[in-house]
Amino acid sequence: MDLKSVKKLDAEDPLAEKRKEFFLPKEKIYLDGNSLGSLTLVAKRRAIEVVDKQWGNDLIASWNLHNWIDLPVNIGEKIAPLIGAKQGQTICCDSVSVNLFKLLSCALTLNSERQTILSTRDNFPTDLYIAEGIQRLLGDGRCHLDLVERHEISARLESRPAVLLLTQTDFRTGELFDIGELTRQAHANGTLVVWDLSHSVGVLPLELDKWKVDFAVGCSYKFLNGGPGAPAFLYVAKRHIKNCEQPISGWMGHKAPFKFEKDYKASDGIAKFLSGTPPILSMSMLDAALASFKNIDMNQLRAKSIQLTELFLLLLEENGSLEQLQLCSPSDANTRGSQLAFSHPKGFGICQALAAKQVIADFRSPDLLRFGFSPLHLRFEDIWHSTRAIKEVLEEGMYLLPAFNKRLKVT
Ligand SMILES: *Cc1c(COP(=O)(O)O)cnc(C)c1O
């Protein structure tokens, strides 16, 4: 396919205007929105306003004056439509890791006659580390982590675990789990589900209420563009909220935090899942960034995401790069998220050499070159240029130079 036909795709793209809402460095092609989303212009303005006017000038009055105190709930309600949740079930707080600790603890308590958390060996490490931490804390008799391969889940559910803990979009390959189907199978065995939506939210149409999901967590600094270290979110189905006692029972989850009562009384609603004081600077930027998802049709966004990844593969195929890069993501676009991974023994060097050509991807140990596709701001033209850069890097062989192979702390 030639550049002219690719540009035609941009001309026909119903989401093309969205790009104008982002601050994007002119020379870079950013294919890492699945790791750290890009800066939106509204978030940039909001950061300055919150620092200068709200914190700087209005100081402590801002908790009421600018509604800082309601940010966790208000942001939760902005994320809710993106995950198919009705009101009162989603809240923004802490990191994915901390929220998993809260929700796994609740799920184990709700299913207290059982002990096992079932998950996959290739789950995102923090999800498993947190489950192991709960196992150490409670002892193996109260919490036992059982890890299987992806294809073994359905059969293993028949051993009736307490909780099924899965990440919908595999962080390496982008391979998807069918949330609706696995949740149904789990429930048929009396198992509760905790879904991690970190690489899903903001690019995939999600229907947590319809799928009868019990609990979910997700990340806001990836496709939601919340900013580095922006707080995560959690979802608890309405039917479970009143029965949950979350273990990090800090004052922000109290019914009346500013009564400073001696005893802990959990808030009635989703606010009971809060713990400490919200990080207002981060939350404000996330709150602003979510404006770019207002009135977005998630099916349309998904369609563009698929178009982007399919074009990327087609152009790499046409220019011969796939003779050296081996696709590790599913070849069927419907069974992968908005990312593509390729293995290559020198994947790290290739990633660095691409960065030198202003194409930003990332590397996942041991040998995966990973590209993320943010449909809100990527153009089809960017795909054309980045696949050319890949071909050049592979042909020039510069990725073999020691300068491109110095390992960094963050990859
Ligand atoms: C990014 C990511 C996380 C991040 O966890 P934090 O505790 O917020 O740092 C967790 N799980 C998955 C699947 C992720 O992709």
pLDDT (tens digit, 9 = 90+) per residue, 38-65? Answer: 999 999 999 999 999 999 999 999 999 9
In this prediction, residue 201 carries a pLDDT of: 98
Q: Which candidate in 124, 233, 371, 404 is catalytic?
A: 124
Our answer to whether residue 221 is catalytic in this structure is: yes
Grouping H, G, I as helix, E, B as strand and the rest as coil, residue 328 is coil
Q: Based on the residue annotation, tell me whether 259 is a catalytic residue of this protein.
A: no
The closest residue, in CA terms, to atom 5 on ligand 1 is 96
Question: What is residue 157's predicted lDDT score, i.e. its pLDDT?
Answer: 98
Mean pLDDT of the chain: 97
Instruction: Examine the residue annotation and report whether 332 is marked as an active-site residue of this protein.
Output: no
Atom of ligand 1 nearest to the CA of 100: 7
Q: How far apart are CA 124 and CA 196, in angstroms?
A: 9
Tell me how far the alpha carbon of residue 198 lies from the centroid of ligand 1, in angstroms: 6
The CATH architecture assigned to 3-30+297-404 reads Alpha-Beta Complex (3.90)
Partnered with residue 327 across adjacent β-strands are: 342
pLDDT recorded at residue 410: 86
> 298 pLDDT exceeds 90?
yes
Pocket test for ligand 1, best of 92, 97, 123, 126 (most atoms within 8 A of CB): 126
Q: Which atom of ligand 1 is nearest to the CA of 95?
A: 8
Centre of ligand 1 from the C-alpha of residue 208, in Å: 19
177-234 pLDDT, tens digit per residue, is: 999 999 999 999 999 999 999 999 999 999 999 999 999 999 999 999 999 999 999 9
User: Catalytic: 86?
Assistant: no
Write down the pLDDT at residue 409: 86
Q: What is the band of 406 on the pLDDT scale with cuts at 50, 70, 90?
A: confident
pLDDT tens readout for residues 244-264: 999 999 999 999 999 999 999
What pLDDT score was predicted for residue 190? 98
Model confidence over 84-111: pLDDT tens digits? Answer: 999 999 999 999 999 999 999 999 999 9
pLDDT value of position 297: 97
Ligand 1 centroid, distance to 218 Cα (angstroms): 7
* Residue 41 CA, ligand 1 centroid: distance in Å: 25
Pocket of ligand 1, candidates 35, 97, 410: which has the most ligand atoms within 8 Å of its Cβ, to mutate? Answer: 97
Predicted local confidence at residue 326, as pLDDT: 98
DSSP conformational letter for 162? S
Domain spans of the chain, in order of start: 3-30+297-404, 48-293
Q: Which atom of ligand 1 is nearest to the CA of 199?
A: 15
- In angstroms, what is the span from residue 352 Cα to ligand 1's centroid? 24
| Tokens 């069974």, located at residue | 335
Whether residue 408 is predicted with pLDDT greater than 90 in this model: the reply is: no
What pLDDT band is residue 398 in, cutting at 50, 70 and 90? confident
Ligand 1 closest atom vs CA 127 = 11
Q: What amino acid occupies position 1? A: M
User: Does a cis peptide bond (omega within 30 degrees of 0) precede residue 366?
Assistant: yes
Whether 411 shows a pLDDT value over 90: the answer reads no
Q: Which atom of ligand 1 is nearest to the CA of 171?
A: 15
The binding-site residues of ligand 1, defined as CB within 6 angstroms of any ligand atom, are 95-97, 124, 126-127, 167, 171, 196, 198-199, 219, 232
Give 128 Cα–ligand 1 centroid separation in angstroms: 11
pLDDT tens digits, 152-166:
999 999 999 999 999
The residue from 370, 373, 399, 404 that is catalytic is 370
Pairs from 11-18 (Cβ < 8 Å, separation ≥ 24): 13/304, 13/379, 13/380, 14/300, 15/300, 15/301, 15/304, 15/375, 15/376, 16/379, 18/292, 18/376, 18/377
- pLDDT at position 380 over 90: yes
Asked if pLDDT for residue 407 goes beyond 90, the answer is no
Q: Is 222 a catalytic residue?
A: yes
Q: How far is the CA of 97 from the centre of ligand 1 (A)?
A: 7
48-293 is classed CATH 3.20.20.10: no
pLDDT classification of 348: cutoffs 50, 70, 90: very high
Cα–Cα nearest to 329, from 342, 319, 320: 342
Q: Are 88 and 269 in contact (CB under 8 A)?
A: yes
